[in-house]
Amino acid sequence: MAHGGADFMACKQEEENKAAWLHGIKTLKIQPYHLPPLGPLDVKVKIKALGICGSDVHYFKTMRCASFVVKKPMVIGHESAGIIEEVGSEVKSLAVGDRVALEPGISCRRCNLCKEGRYNLCPEMKFFGSPPTNGSLANKVVHPANLCFKLPDNVSLSEGAMCEPLSVGVHACRRAQIGPETNVLIMGAGPIGLVTLLVARAFGAPRVVIVDVDDRRLSVARNLGADEIIHVSTNIQDVGEEVIKIQNAMGSGIDVSFDCVGYNKTMSTALNATSSGGKVCLIGLALTEMTVPLTPAAAREVDVIGIFRYRNTWPLCIELLRTGKIDVKPLITHRFRFSQEEVEQAFETSAQGGDAIKVMFNM
């Protein structure tokens, strides 16, 4: 009898795991989410903090992001942190009760890209909340232990969830080799532009100029330590005069430009503004195809590099937060609880943009 009762309680607990499922355009429902069994190298994590990303908003508004299309109901979300609730039989690195930040992508570890360490480019990547893989806006998830990183006592769970967007900035600054001799231009003062600003500064960039069409976002960039902020238009005809304005604001050569938007205008501006022999790193992927002045930039040996997500970034992100070299707390502008009503409100808030930079669930 007691045994049957235990089974009943176990079933009941499993039923209680709920997640935010995306069913259609602007249709999110909190419904039961049955987890896979815990493998020997997995952990079960009680999610305590989750941030909404621009890609989550794309799925919410259009059911697609770039070439990824949601074809069946999917649990959304991937910027997450939580507390270990159960560990697999072979997990040695983590214990029940540990606070962790989750790296959301599981690569195959077998293909050539994985073997070379470029696992972010793995064609078999299973990434939280990127179809067809369910995400982490749930009470609990099961995840490989080696993708869960322990948080120091002075780093909060919300900051732990911010390691995911911060990782994009770290990967971009590594790819572009930012250091104490690189002056940096950033196109776009959205969440990714702002974390790129913080990381460039932490990597020693002596001067950072940031450009956007929105004055509110520019004032946030100023408060986060941008040397100069420049308001630009959305009109491609203005590129010529805006480039002069940007170069004057920098006061010396622009060694690296980060395009955190990915439009014809932002990329054209970056290519034209960057000094000969410099680099342009494309982070924002707004458009699949662009028309940009590549030939004049190539003739000046301006290198164009791209990034996709990140790799091997969590330990550094956590260290930057622990030491206070980077403070992501000002980026968290809105907080919501995990209820049907608040999940809907949170996604609407994030979708509207405006003064919302990072919308965070505290669960």
On the question of a cis peptide bond just before residue 32, with omega within 30 degrees of 0, the verdict is: no
Distance CA 228, CA 183 (A): 12
How confident is the model over 206-225, as pLDDT tens digits?
999 999 999 999 999 999 99
**pLDDT surpassing 70 at residue 3:** no
User: What's the Rg (C-alpha) of the chain?
Assistant: 21
**pLDDT surpassing 50 at residue 1:** no
Distance CA 227, CA 240 (A): 22
How confident is the model over 322-337, as pLDDT tens digits?
999 999 999 999 999 9
Residue type, 222: R
How confident is the model over 78-99, as pLDDT tens digits?
999 999 999 999 999 999 999 9
Distance CA 81, CA 103 (A): 9
Distance CA 143, CA 149 (A): 11
How confident is the model over 183-204, as pLDDT tens digits?
999 999 999 999 999 999 999 9
Model pTM above 0.85 = yes
How confident is the model over 232-282, as pLDDT tens digits?
999 999 999 999 999 999 999 999 999 999 999 999 999 999 999 999 999
User: Helix H segments across the chain?
Assistant: 2-15, 54-62, 112-115, 157-161, 163-175, 191-202, 215-223, 239-250, 264-273, 294-299, 314-322, 340-352
How confident is the model over 300-358, as pLDDT tens digits?
999 999 999 999 999 999 999 999 999 999 999 999 999 999 999 999 999 998 889 99
**pLDDT surpassing 60 at residue 66:** yes
26 within 8 A of 58, measured Cβ to Cβ:
no
